[in-house]
A = this chain, B = another copy of it.
Amino acid sequence: MEYSAPPNVLMELLIVPDKILMGPGPSNCPKRVLEALKNPVLGHLHPECLKIMDDIKVGMQYIFQTKNPATLCVSASGHAGMEATLCNLLEDGDILLVGVTGHWGNRAADMGRRYGADVRVVEAKLGESLSFERIEEALVVHKPSVFFITQGDSSTGVWQPLEGLGQLCHKYNCLLVVDTVASLGGVPVFMDKWEIDAIYTGSQKVLGAPPGITPMSFSQRALDRVNNRNSKVKVYYWDINLLGDYWGCFGRPRIYHHTISSTLLYGLREALAMVCEEGIPVTIQRHMDASYRLQEGLKKMGLKMFAERPQDRLPCVNTIHVPEGVDWLKVAQHAMKHFKVEISGGLGPTAGKVFRIGLMGENATTERVDMVLYVLKESIQSTSPNFSFEKSKM
């Protein structure tokens, strides 16, 4: 048979620009992480590969502050953390309660419905976190088997308090699933002390590894639920028992579940090593300090945070009202064109309404904060010459 010709476009050179990624993620990977990526690929069951997986497991146990043996990664993007936790814990007809503080609650609700759950919602006022009183009311009314909430919603920049929430859910025989994609490493997380049953995060945010591999952890209570299912977990690829046997979580012999990307393991391993070297309390403080400095600078410019109450503000992804008379898209394009700096617009409920500035990983420093403040101001001035920062302050 005749073959069609190869495409010319692949004869061109691959050229990748170096940008400063200060949107909601991915953030920049440290040089050490990028250098690790070019190591030769290893087989998915080679002892050296399993050793790196073990390193990642203990690193994530430390960063999640958990002793759960079922601490591992799923080989896909952060969305897969949401998929895997919900898919394992839900069966047809189960009631899933979703706490909505932005886009990510809506996404979890969609996934829950696809998995056959009866989805109920408790929604925060836009730009605010949910009070435990409202959550408890909803637990009483809906009697869910699983409650899902996002610790840091990257669309609204809202930080949801979690301390005591696991205990509250367990009072109503409900499991607690927490999305920490945009928060872990920037704010405190105590999986065990807070009795969180399933958790996941993004590799490409505070941790500073490339995306494509997603750390997560399941409590014993969550595993008991999985092991008492009436039906098989609907997706082989997300099945925590198979995945856990590959990651050596249950004391059983390792199995071949899928071909893990050793490349992504190298990057994540090095990123976790850097967090461990700094120490998680120091990492968190650095992110808090950076966000505080950013907020002070924005205030001086007369710009207003989207989350009105200071305690609701996620330090990793800062949402800022787009002032009247300013075109957010032009600002973002200007910042990218002239400074190679990524400043993002909104997402979902905040689309068109906010700027989002990410302070994550190696971008959570005084220098980067001062730089992004300068870039934002200059980009607003250049694209909206009639806009008055002075007037905005009043």
Contacts and interface: CB of A to CB of B under 8 A. Distances in A.
A4 to B, nearest CB: 6
B10 A58 contact: yes
Contact of A264 (B87, B212, B347): B212
A193 B4 CA distance: 12
A211 interface: yes
A260 B6 contact: no
Contacts of A277: 6, 10-11
Nearest to A236: B111
Nearest to A54: B9
Contacts of A264: 210, 212, 261, 263-264
A114 interface: yes
A353 to B, nearest CB: 17
A335 to B, nearest CB: 13
B37 A37 contact: yes
Contacts of A224: none
Interface stretch (A15-23, A139-147, A298-306): A15-23
A285 to B, nearest CB: 12
A6 B237 CA distance: 30
A78 to B, nearest CB: 6
Interface in A177-220: 188, 190, 193, 202, 204, 210-213
A338 interface: no
Chain A, interface residues (CB within 8 Å), range: 35 or more
A258 B76 CA distance: 10
Contacts of A342: 43, 46
Given A37-B263, A213-B212, A7 B59 contact: yes
Nearest to A36: B14
A16 B43 contact: no
A76 B190 contact: no
A293 interface: no
B25 A259 contact: yes
B65 A42 contact: no
A368 interface: no
A170 interface: no
A237 B10 contact: no
Contacts of A272: 10
A204 B259 contact: yes
A266 B15 CA distance: 10
A279 interface: yes
A77 B238 CA distance: 12
Interface in A274-311: 275-277, 279-281
Contacts of A257: 79
B1 A77 contact: no
A371 interface: no
A276 B77 contact: no
A16 B37 contact: no
9 contacts: A7-B61, A7-B62, A15-B48, A17-B40, A75-B77, A79-B259, A116-B234, A211-B263, A212-B263
Given A6-B62, A111-B235, 13 more contacts: A6-B280, A23-B43, A25-B259, A37-B37, A41-B204, A44-B211, A75-B212, A80-B237, A107-B236, A115-B234, A235-B235, A263-B263, A263-B267
Interface of A: 1, 3-7, 9-11, 14-19, 21, 23, 25-26, 28-29, 34-44, 46, 48, 52, 54-55, 58-59, 61-62, 65, 75-80, 83, 87, 107, 110-111, 113-116, 188, 190, 193, 202, 204, 210-213, 232-237, 256-264, 266-267, 269-270, 272-273, 275-277, 279-281, 342, 347
Which A-B residue pairs are the 9 nearest by beta carbons?
A212-B261, A6-B276, A16-B39, A210-B263, A7-B58, A37-B37, A76-B76, A10-B273, A10-B276
